[in-house]
Amino acid sequence: MNKKKKIGLVIALVLLCVVSVFAFLKAFSMYRNTHRKLDDIITLSSTKASSAPEAQTSKGSLTLFVNQEPVVLTLDGSGAEYDCFTLNTEFETVITTKDNTHEILINGVPMDNQVASLKLDSISAADRITVTVDGQEYYLRTLPEDFPDLTPLGESSKDGYFYTTMGTFVVKFDKKGQVVFYRRASATNAGPFRRTEVDGEVLYSYLEGRSSKEHPFLTGIGYRTTALIILNEQYQKIDEVPYMAETEKVPANYPLENHDHLILGKGHYILTTYVGKKVNNIPASLDGSEYGANVVACIFQEIKDGKCIFEWDSTDHPELYEASLEAGDYTNVTRLWSDYAHFNSIIIDPKDNNFICSYRDLDSILKIDRETGEILWFLGGKFDDFNLTEEQQFHRQHNATLTEDGSILLFDNGCRTNILGYPVLSAEEQSEGERTQHSRGLKLVIDEDKKEVIDFEEYTVDGFYSASMGSAQLLDDATDTALLGWGGKSKAGMPLFTEVNCSEKTINFEMLCGDSDINCYRVTHYDK
């Protein structure tokens, strides 16, 4: 092959390669454009599918505020039922919403500028409030689905209302046991539900369970950390006190405990707490004194406008370690924390302005000077100043109060066995304690100057016993009619509370509960 032919062949091969490359690039371009269009079509289709159908099928929701508390309705046309946070039969129930996109009727009446008011005739498991949204009906239960299953029997002999806490609810009943008001609380058996008149204004208050991340809970102790909730006369929440006042004895942001509180005025309270402490003032005669002990300090404060103006700490009184009858293990072998005193109630004696406090594990009522903090006397227990007879002695008592004539009234649990496990009882002691245990209301007429009991009276229902909690209130002195709250109900079949005429030995009223786990920490009768 000559030189010219070789050059021509090379040129032909180069031209063929160029043509092939251009053909490949054109085919690739067509392939890419085709798939780009397909991707666009798929993306557009996906966008339409994810937007329009979602908007058409979304259930949506509607938030109503019933007496200022939210209820969220799922708008699926199902006719679903919902619980209310709080309701009452004494004042108008006000329902509001911020939603203006739906046609809403309450019990068939259109809302007026997103507000509706109605008066409930009753609160019961059968009663409903009908909420119609765009033609679809939904229902508000007047009594929450998880409200305790109650059966009231009889009728109180006295006009007025029963106030208590049960389950996770704060409740007010009329004389026949019908619910007049309830509010959901955030802990089982929230602290005592009180009615107080301050400067002509009615305030309601209770202690609601609150956990504290900052301060560890004292394990093995019968208490709850709480905050004080204050309501106005229409049962609307107006204030909350989440912490004790910070002092040398009480750390910052320290929670209240659940046993009691007093409202003395606006911004003026008596609050209580339990603080775990390592102490070294245990009397030498007691085990555990050599190295000190972990104990529960029972502390109460008088707080005014956020400042502590009086404070009392049980660990400042070493004699109380020796006075303990239960849970006073200062070696901390059986108990991580020695709950040697266990506070459960406080009142102010109007005749001298001093405090009267109940301490379960001391079997004692103490009178404490409101200025100096000095213990003025012990009623009951190891250091009893009043020489109580065997019939007058009380055991693991609760709810010490004063009657109209100035007598001491308390709920005597009558617990003669150590349910907290220390000190350990022999089999004989345990058997004897169980045989003689019974609970009662106990009134002691005392002469404080002479330190003697002038008279005493008991209020009881045969066979009833409650090892923990409970309350007693004298409703009619002439007929010895008493209201007894049975607290922990240590026997099956016991009611939550009973109004008993002890003169005639008849039951006027009692509240039964179908759930044996439900109890009342305390029940109080008020005229209004």
The pLDDT assigned to 364 comes to 98
The pLDDT assigned to 435 comes to 93
Shortest CA distance to 271 belongs to which of 212, 316, 205, 211? 205
Per-residue three-class SS string for 112-168: ECCEEEECCCCCCCCCEEEEEECCEEEEEECCCCCCCCEEEEECCCCCCEEEEEECC
Shortest CA distance to 263 belongs to which of 238, 281, 292, 290? 238
The pLDDT assigned to 10 comes to 42
Q: Do 437 and 415 form a contact (C-beta atoms < 8 A)?
A: yes
The pLDDT assigned to 9 comes to 46
The pLDDT assigned to 48 comes to 32
- CA-to-CA dists, residue 362 to 42, 340, 397, 485, angstroms: 80, 7, 9, 21
The pLDDT assigned to 437 comes to 95
In a structure prediction context, what are the per-residue pLDDT tens digits for the chain, which is 528 residues long? 444 444 444 444 444 444 343 444 444 344 344 344 334 433 333 333 333 333 333 469 999 999 999 999 999 999 999 999 999 999 999 999 999 999 999 999 999 999 999 999 999 999 999 999 999 999 999 999 999 999 999 999 999 999 999 999 999 999 999 999 999 998 887 889 999 999 999 999 999 999 998 999 999 999 999 999 999 999 999 999 999 999 999 999 999 999 999 999 999 999 999 999 999 999 999 999 999 999 999 999 999 999 999 999 999 999 999 999 999 999 999 999 999 999 999 999 999 999 999 999 999 999 999 999 999 999 999 999 999 999 999 999 999 999 999 999 999 999 999 999 899 999 999 999 999 999 999 999 999 999 999 999 999 999 999 999 999 999 999 999 999 999 999 988 999 999 999 999 999 999 999 999 999 999 999 999
Q: Do 250 and 299 form a contact (C-beta atoms < 8 A)?
A: yes
Using DSSP bridges, classify how beta strands 115-118 and 169-173 pair: parallel, antiparallel or unpaired: unpaired
Instruction: Give the separation between CA 183 and CA 171, rounded to whole angstroms.
Output: 7
Give CA torsion, residues 207, 211, 217, 222, to 10 deg.
Answer: 30
What number of CA atoms fall less than 13 Å from residue 445's CA on the CB side? 7
The pLDDT assigned to 45 comes to 35
Instruction: Give the separation between CA 47 and CA 296, rounded to whole angstroms.
Output: 64
Beta partners for residue 169, in sequence order: 166, 184
Buried (b) or exposed (e) across 450-468, using 16+ Cβ within 10 A?
eeebeebbbbbbeebbbbb
What are residue 255's phi and psi, to 5 degrees?
Answer: -70, 160
Contact partners, residue 336, CB within 8 Å, separation at least 6: 219, 220, 294
Instruction: Give the separation between CA 331 and CA 320, rounded to whole angstroms.
Output: 16
Instruction: Give the separation between CA 290 and CA 282, rounded to whole angstroms.
Output: 8
Instruction: Give the separation between CA 140 and CA 402, rounded to whole angstroms.
Output: 42
The pLDDT assigned to 50 comes to 33
The pLDDT assigned to 57 comes to 34
Region of 378 (left: φ > 0; alpha: ψ -120 to 50; beta: rest) is beta
The pLDDT assigned to 15 comes to 45
Beta partners for residue 97, in sequence order: none
Per-residue three-class SS string for 397-440: CEEEEECCCCCEEEEECCCCCCCCCCCCCCHHHHHHHHHHCCCE
The pLDDT assigned to 122 comes to 97
Token pair 């949204």 in the structure block, residue: 133
The pLDDT assigned to 187 comes to 81
Instruction: Give the separation between CA 459 and CA 377, rounded to whole angstroms.
Output: 25
The pLDDT assigned to 415 comes to 96
The pLDDT assigned to 27 comes to 42
Contact partners, residue 271, CB within 8 Å, separation at least 6: 228, 241, 244, 256, 261, 300, 301, 303
Instruction: Give the separation between CA 327 and CA 333, rounded to whole angstroms.
Output: 11
- In this structure, the number of other CB atoms found within 10 A of the CB of residue 176 comes to 11
Beta partners for residue 481, in sequence order: 476, 501
CA 467 to chain centroid = 21
Q: What is the DSSP string of 80-123?
A: -EEE-SEEESSS-EEEE-S--SS-EEETTEE-BTTEEEE--S--
- In this structure, the number of other CB atoms found within 10 A of the CB of residue 129 comes to 22
Q: Do 95 and 89 form a contact (C-beta atoms < 8 A)?
A: no
